[in-house]
Structure 1
Amino acid sequence: MGNILFAEEVVVFGKRMKILCYIRPWNKEQFECLAKSLEPSAGVIFCSEHASVDAVGLRAAYYANLTDGNIVSDLTPGEQDDFILRCRLLRTLDRPEAVRHLLAMGHAVKELLVKEQPCVVLSLMVDSYIMDLLRHYCESLGFKFVGLVPTFVNGYFRVTARGEPNYNPCADACNIQGIKQALLDPMYAPAFNAKALASPLRGMLRRWAANIARVPYFYVKRHLLKDPYNYHYWAAQIVSSSLFNFFPPSDPGDTDWLSTIQNIDKPVLYIPLQMVPEATVDYWCNNVEVVDYYAQMERFISKHHNAFQIVIKEHPSVMSSRPFGFYQRLARDKRVTVVPTYTPSNEVLAMADAVLVWTGSVGFEAALRGKSVICLGDPYYLYGSRFLKINPTTESGVINEHIQVTKAQPVSPEEQDELISYLATQLFLGNFKNDGTWSEYSEKDLTDCKVMANSLRALLECDVV
């Protein structure tokens, strides 16, 4: 079965087939290279909300549908709410306006898929309502949706739509011991954090300045291009407005954090801040209630700070990208201890009894070191007894009992191997760039695409065997 690719019916390599790619202008060449590496004879078509790269009329259909008051949706009210609450753009709109845009784009997406009948849809993982609609209608119509995402394990990527696990049929080829050695290195950092860690001050200032510039830039761009509802431009303007600060923030961390937590006789619970809005919170948590990240973090701190010494650290790639006043409030909050942003996370993990995550990779790193992991979300790496899934009503006593039981069971090399083996079942060999730096003139980038295509081919073939 080595010459087949997933479709509703078996398709033989060498015959004309169709791969639909959801793209934006800065990754068109990358996805074209990936699709052609997957099957050189395939017909590759592109859909996008950007007119410059949309080849199938998605954008035009969406705008036409916005003025059509007769669109009947096949989405239930509950499904509509889920689409809206998870999307960083739609949830900022009044519900009737959000529903209008959702139905207009949904109708355009469904008609596109019915017309084109792709064998497979390639996309990034879901991080907007447009991609979510693509995922939804692919599932309902029987098309394969492949969402791509880098991982914290350098050299590997994952295939997922909303964070769910997808298993690699060739996962036994992963280097289990090599991954274990890398992740247990105290100085290990994912490749996507390298730039932020290499020049922390420059990175922070660049993000702060860029965020200020985005507000007028995207407002003007939306209207000059006569594309006021372009998702990327509109969402970027709204999010940047919510993060607007006239002055660059100072690090809220306490340089004396270590002595502070050593002098308090309570379990230490570490909260590594995640980037928000971000797909790993918005779409990877089954409980839509916890998507409201800042409200849920405040609720957790208020409910549990008497039972635990709560330690918080900013993500190095996010510093300066928080709502106005966030860092000042955090630095003044006597209920928590704030660690300086560029302290290696593993140093904090060494002092912690437990970690609270929505879906962040620090949760896996903590379990690998024998720590208790408290989850508000649904991390794909969840495996074994060190994880406790909670909801906003879970009592402190339940969490503390789990921490104490976990502390009494030191992690063994065999347990570490089991954790990594489970993670490895979802890893696909290949370096996937998702930062806009991929270049068709880079031999390494072209080679990476071919490696990724080989990994995907194994997955897609497996689906029809």
Structure 2
Amino acid sequence: MKILIHVRAWNKEFYCRLANIAFENPDITTIADFRGLADVWSGDYLYDSCYDVPNEEFEKEKDDIITRCRFLRSISRQKAEELARRFWNGTEKLFQEGKYDLVLSPIADCYTMDIIERIAEKYHVEYFALVTSFVRGYSRFTKQGELFDAKRQVTDEEIDHVIGMLVNDDYKVTFSLNKEKKQFDTAKFYLRRRMVDKLYFPYKKHKEKDPWNYHYNTLSFQGGNYADYSVKNAERYYKKISEADIQKKSVYVPLHYSPEATVDYWCDNKKWAYYEQSVIDFIKASDPGVSFVVKEHPAMYGKRNINFYKELTSMENVQLIHPYENSNQLLRELWNVMVYTGSVGVEALLRGKKVFTVTDNYYSGCSSNIVKTERIKAGDLIEEKLEHDNQKFMRQLLSGMFPGSSTAGKDIGNSEIDKIAAEMHRIYVNHVTEKNNR
């Protein structure tokens, strides 16, 4: 069993241990974007001109690769193509020589991870990326956000329990990013990140001789100064729910954390990677009589450029709700919801709401009450509950998930590794068996 694992400093031990628990005596190769961390360093390809040769398949996919990566789309097109092409060629050689059975990785959030997944697809290598589910205590595997056909048997009791949990008005996803921050905390975060971006990362690039490292070149705050991110300045654009004019037929738009893999890599079209502009374009393309109630993501408090808020609130049919207002209250009061890949769409469907989405996502094929569109017409809206088979919907979703908590952060070691390993082994065996029977 030959496994290629993409690692970072805080998850290397976890993923190597996960592979060793799931499979007997696996032959593991690690790959990383940081020098000295793994068996293979991406810089071995990025800084070697012998990998800078034409590749017909790369040429077909380069636009998609570059647009989806926030680092590549921030540098010159020529340099972006050079880096991606070299890594593609180097990774393809790695796969040809390694003859891997499985690639194990966190979800892709940069071009190197994206290319590894594409090369795995080309060589028909199983690819498992671990995802922390929005359903508390559950995880799942994916490639680029889709729901794996994991064929897990789900009981009626489990379905009832999860539905009851998700429709509870007090339910909150427990991601640490969503914890409420004070104004002082956001200012401290801004200053700390600016120091890291301006001082520490340039030092690391020089010390490690790694000038084009994705991580060291991806800035937390793109352009502007503190005033453009200050929560004190942002507060003037927010409304409390009690202050907003909310009608049943208004459209609830919960904003995504951005930039992030769920937008950059999970959406079916690369244009959605320009997230803020795409939200504005969607609203402008919709009928002017459609009222949008837009709520900021709690983890974006103090992190989103307020020029986005200015443009949003300049439109008469848009109201911007404070990130720390109660999302469940909006779900109770509004019957129409617009999402990209967010889990709010699942919660809305369970409550009989109509869900609009710009992209296929991991649950869009599980319900007839979700509509894929790039604009909303007034006649599309509803103002009363839709019929929805919650049992069938949740059975399909849960069959692609499994009990076993996980986290993608530096506390990944607290994940329920034995449960995750058991499911990884089961799903892998099923996939390989099906492949061999075709």
Is TM > 0.5 for Structure 1 vs Structure 2? yes
1:56 corresponding residue in structure 2: 40
Matches within 5 A, 1:225-374: 225-235=208-218, 237=219, 239-242=220-223, 244-246=225-227, 248-250=230-232, 251-252=235-236, 254-258=238-242, 260-262=244-246, 267-304=249-286, 306-323=288-305, 325-330=307-312, 333-374=315-356
Partner amino acid, structure 2, of 1:142? H
Which of 206, 211, 219 lines up with 2:202 in the alignment?
219
Question: Which moves more between the two structures, 282-291 or 332-341?
Answer: 332-341
Query: How far apart, in 1, do the equivalents of 2:334 and 2:11 lie?
Result: 40
- Structure 1 residue 119, shift from structure 2 partner: 1.9
Question: Which moves more between the two structures, 322-331 or 376-385?
Answer: 322-331
Question: Which moves more between the two structures, 203-212 or 179-188?
Answer: 203-212
Query: How far apart, in 2, do the equivalents of 1:37 and 1:462 lie?
Result: 18
Query: How far apart, in 2, do the equivalents of 1:276 and 1:287 lie?
Result: 16
Question: Which moves more between the two structures, 76-85 or 197-206?
Answer: 197-206
DSSP 3-state at the match of 1:159: strand
Report Cα offsets for 1:375-419 as digits up to 9, x if no partner.
01222111222111013xx4x43xx33323xx455445xx12222
1:381 corresponding residue in structure 2: 363
Report Cα offsets for 1:135-154 as digits up to 9, x if no partner.
11111112111111111111
Which of 370, 388, 411 lines up with 1:437 in the alignment?
411
2:125 corresponding residue in structure 1: 143
Partner amino acid, structure 2, of 1:365? E
Query: How far apart, in 2, do the equivalents of 1:319 and 1:148 lie?
Result: 27
Query: How far apart, in 2, do the equivalents of 1:220 and 1:305 lie?
Result: 51
Question: Which moves more between the two structures, 224-233 or 325-334?
Answer: 325-334
Which of 405, 412, 432 lines up with 1:464 in the alignment?
432
DSSP 3-state at the match of 1:208: helix
Kindly tell me: are residues 296 and 100 of structure 1, through their superposed partners in 2, closer, same or farther at Cα, counting changes over 3 Å?
same
Partner amino acid, structure 2, of 1:28? K
Kindly tell me: are residues 20 and 254 of structure 1, through their superposed partners in 2, closer, same or farther at Cα, counting changes over 3 Å?
closer
Query: How far apart, in 2, do the equivalents of 1:191 and 1:256 lie?
Result: 22
DSSP 3-state at the match of 1:325: helix
Query: How far apart, in 2, do the equivalents of 1:242 and 1:308 lie?
Result: 32
Kindly tell me: are residues 410 and 20 of structure 1, through their superposed partners in 2, closer, same or farther at Cα, counting changes over 3 Å?
same
Report whether the alignment pairs 1:130 with 2:112. yes
Contact 1:305-1:335 within 8 A present in 2 as well: no
1:84 corresponding residue in structure 2: 66
Matches within 5 A, 1:17-96: 17-64=1-48, 67-68=49-50, 71-96=53-78
Query: How far apart, in 2, do the equivalents of 1:305 and 1:401 lie?
Result: 9
The number of residues matched between the two structures is 427
Contact 1:38-1:453 within 8 A present in 2 as well: yes
Contact 1:269-1:308 within 8 A present in 2 as well: yes
- Structure 1 residue 267, shift from structure 2 partner: 2.1
2:436 corresponding residue in structure 1: none
Contact 2:51-2:90 within 8 A present in 1 as well: no
Partner amino acid, structure 2, of 1:379? N
- Structure 1 residue 101, shift from structure 2 partner: 0.6
Matches within 5 A, 1:156-175: 156-172=138-154, 175=158
Structure 1: state its 5+ residue gaps. 1-16
- Structure 1 residue 202, shift from structure 2 partner: 6.5
Contact 2:58-2:88 within 8 A present in 1 as well: no
- Structure 1 residue 358, shift from structure 2 partner: 1.1
- Structure 1 residue 370, shift from structure 2 partner: 1.0
Contact 1:280-1:359 within 8 A present in 2 as well: yes
Query: How far apart, in 1, do the equivalents of 2:178 and 2:270 lie?
Result: 30
Fraction of identical pairs, as percent = 26
Contact 2:237-2:310 within 8 A present in 1 as well: no
Report whether the alignment pairs 1:450 with 2:430. no
Contact 1:252-1:338 within 8 A present in 2 as well: no
Compute the TM-score of the two structures, normalised by the length of structure 1. Answer: 0.85
Query: How far apart, in 2, do the equivalents of 1:94 and 1:122 lie?
Result: 31
Report whether the alignment pairs 1:188 with 2:171. yes
1:8 corresponding residue in structure 2: none
Query: How far apart, in 1, do the equivalents of 2:309 and 2:193 lie?
Result: 16
Query: How far apart, in 2, do the equivalents of 1:171 and 1:243 lie?
Result: 51
Report Cα offsets for 1:40-96 as digits up to 9, x if no partner.
4112221111112121354323321xx337512132534111111111111122222
Query: How far apart, in 1, do the equivalents of 2:387 and 2:230 lie?
Result: 42
Query: How far apart, in 1, do the equivalents of 2:172 and 2:301 lie?
Result: 16
Kindly tell me: are residues 202 and 160 of structure 1, through their superposed partners in 2, closer, same or farther at Cα, counting changes over 3 Å?
farther
Report Cα offsets for 1:431-460 as digits up to 9, x if no partner.
121011234xxxx54xx1111001111100
1:3 corresponding residue in structure 2: none
DSSP 3-state at the match of 2:226: coil
- Structure 1 residue 333, shift from structure 2 partner: 4.9
Query: How far apart, in 2, do the equivalents of 1:61 and 1:252 lie?
Result: 48
- Structure 1 residue 372, shift from structure 2 partner: 0.9
Query: How far apart, in 1, do the equivalents of 2:287 and 2:231 lie?
Result: 26
